[in-house]
């Protein structure tokens, strides 16, 4: 059995030994069955697609407030929790810069994320592990860390209720959006599907569709949603996705891609599968589809294959849910068997979805001061599967996704930075003005 001693990132204020020892029914107004059925929480009901048959509960808004922008609402609520002192440090004081070079990697100095942690034995040789109620999980989170519930509406409109009772409907388990108390960036939140079901960290069709709806509802390409499997630097074995707002294109989003021509599958769904080109981590990109569920189902099938095949992976949901990056990786395995250089290990950077996307979260000032493209490429090269292994895994992935690849003939270079990341809308301008001190300056960006 491969094991590696890890330091778990603290995602909630209740993630420490003292809280772990408390019994159910603690009266802390938590997200467990002891407290939540009798609670009232804000509710955001996202619009249902006309052909969407997913079931997330029946939402019938009453005494509805005027619907705000979802992203504005999320950021306002997140800022409110900051004013209330619920975060472990002020992420807006963290320095950020664009690393000069071909890719334009983003570096952040986040020394606070390295503090107030506890040692754990984290098993990295099994992507699927059973849920363990004795360890920290999100039912132990206090409701003050929750921004709102996130459920599907019963119509084709989005709705928001500032206060709504949590239904006592049998077997109802709410989806919640909560703050990450050790944030990487402004607006860093956790999406916890069906929190009372105590699902382990494993993607299924419903949870991935919910995560894509989160990116879609934000309606801003600078708000991304990410997922880390066990073995790919997820730190808590309770199903969750992460998301945050950063008004800079990620290097992976600008990387050229090569479309994978297929003999079957695409005609029915309209989903396009592509392969990343000239990027340090080998991966696949899925986009298109006749509906949100089309691309979600294809990606979910591939994730389920990777999980059952015990292959760690990361998922990045980009471009308002229109593009999904699937990134199998092997860094933790290499680390466990001593194949990662001491130079990289000393930085204590665990390359999860954000780092693979090109946002390097550095914990030591010397690493931030000396950050270079060569360092980022060395780190990500250790993450990536070898070319031979990737081609083998890719063939199985496409089969799992019900796509049969032919020869790759068509090369499509992603020009997203020219057409997707336009800042002409008033929402972006307002946030750029009010949060300029929390973002990377465009003056130093290297876009190639």
Give catalytic residue positions: 240
Q: What ranges in 348-414 are assigned the alpha helix state H? A: 353-357, 365-369, 373-383, 387-400
Q: How far is CA 351 from CA 150, 394, 415, 446, in A?
A: 28, 21, 26, 22
Q: Locate tokens 């969407």: which residue? A: 52
Q: Where are the beta strands (DSSP E) in 3-78?
A: 3-8, 40-46
Q: Which residues, at least 6 apart from 113, have a Cβ–Cβ distance to it below 8 Å?
A: 9, 89, 182, 184, 361, 363
d(CA 354, CA 352): 6
In whole angstroms, give the CA distance from residue 217 to residue 70.
Answer: 7
Which strand (E) or helix (H) includes residue 267? helix 266-269
CA distance 56 to 63: 21
Location of structure tokens 């500032």: 162
Name which of 371, 276, 348, 271 is nearest 316 in CA terms: 276
* Strand order across the beta sheet in which 96-98 lies: 96-98, 106-109, 359-362
β-pairing verdict for 106-109 and 359-362: parallel
275-278: Cβ within 8 A, 24+ apart: 275/394, 275/408, 276/252, 276/325, 277/411
> Could you say which DSSP state residue 142 is in?
B
DSSP classification of residue 322 = T
E-state strands within 14-61:
40-46
In sequence order, what are the beta bridge partners of 106?
98, 359
Question: 176-211 as b/e, with b when 16 or more CB fall inside 10 Å?
Answer: bbbbbbbbbbbbbbbbbbbbbebbbbbbebbbbbbb
CA–CA distance, 152 with 129 (Å, rounded to integer): 29
Torsion of CA 364, 368, 369, 370, to 10 degrees: 100
* Residues in Cβ contact with 62 at an 8 Å cutoff, skipping those fewer than 6 apart: 161
């Amino acid at each position: 059995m491969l094991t590696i001693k890890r330091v778990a990132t603290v995602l909630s204020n209740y993630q420490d030994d003292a809280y772990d020892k408390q019994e159910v029914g603690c009266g802390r107004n938590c997200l467990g069955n002891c407290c939540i059925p009798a609670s009232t929480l804000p509710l955001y009901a996202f619009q249902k697609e006309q052909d969407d048959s997913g079931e997330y509960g029946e939402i019938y808004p009453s005494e509805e407030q005027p619907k705000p922008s979802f992203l504005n609402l999320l950021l306002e609520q997140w800022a409110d929790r900051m004013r209330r002192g619920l975060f472990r440090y002020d992420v807006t004081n963290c320095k950020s810069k664009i690393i000069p070079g071909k890719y334009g990697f983003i570096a952040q100095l986040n020394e606070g994320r390295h503090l107030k942690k506890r040692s754990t034995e984290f098993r990295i040789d099994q992507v699927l592990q059973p849920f363990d109620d004795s360890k920290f999980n999100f039912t132990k989170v206090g409701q003050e860390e929750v921004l709102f519930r996130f459920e599907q509406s019963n119509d084709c409109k989005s709705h928001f209720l500032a206060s709504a009772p949590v239904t006592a409907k049998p077997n109802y388990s709410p989806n919640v959006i909560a703050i990450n108390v050790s944030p990487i960036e402004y607006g860093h939140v956790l999406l916890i599907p069906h929190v009372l079901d105590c699902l382990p960290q494993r993607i299924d069709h419903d949870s991935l569709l919910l995560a894509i709806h989160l990116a879609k509802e934000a309606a801003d390409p600078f708000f991304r949603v990410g997922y880390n499997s066990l073995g790919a630097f997820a730190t808590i074995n309770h199903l969750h996705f992460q998301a945050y707002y950063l008004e800079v294109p990620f290097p992976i989003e600008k990387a050229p891609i090569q479309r994978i021509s297929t003999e079957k599958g695409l005609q029915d769904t309209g989903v396009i599968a592509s392969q990343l080109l000239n990027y340090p981590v080998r991966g696949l990109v899925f986009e298109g589809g006749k509906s949100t569920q089309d691309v979600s189902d294809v990606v979910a099938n591939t994730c389920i294959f990777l999980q059952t095949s015990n292959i760690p992976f990361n998922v990045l949901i980009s471009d308002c849910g229109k593009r999904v990056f699937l990134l199998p990786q092997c860094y933790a395995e290499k680390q466990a068997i001593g194949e990662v250089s001491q130079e990289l290990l000393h930085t204590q950077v665990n390359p999860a979805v954000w780092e693979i996307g090109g946002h390097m979260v550095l914990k030591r000032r010397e690493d931030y001061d000396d950050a270079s493209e060569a360092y980022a490429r060395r780190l990500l090269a250790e993450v990536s599967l070898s070319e031979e292994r990737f081609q083998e895994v890719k063939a199985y992935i496409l089969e799992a996704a019900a796509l049969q690849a032919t020869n790759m003939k068509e090369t499509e270079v992603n020009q997203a930075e020219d057409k997707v990341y336009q800042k002409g809308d008033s929402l972006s301008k307002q946030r750029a003005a009010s949060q300029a001190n929390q973002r990377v300056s465009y003056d130093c960006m290297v876009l190639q």
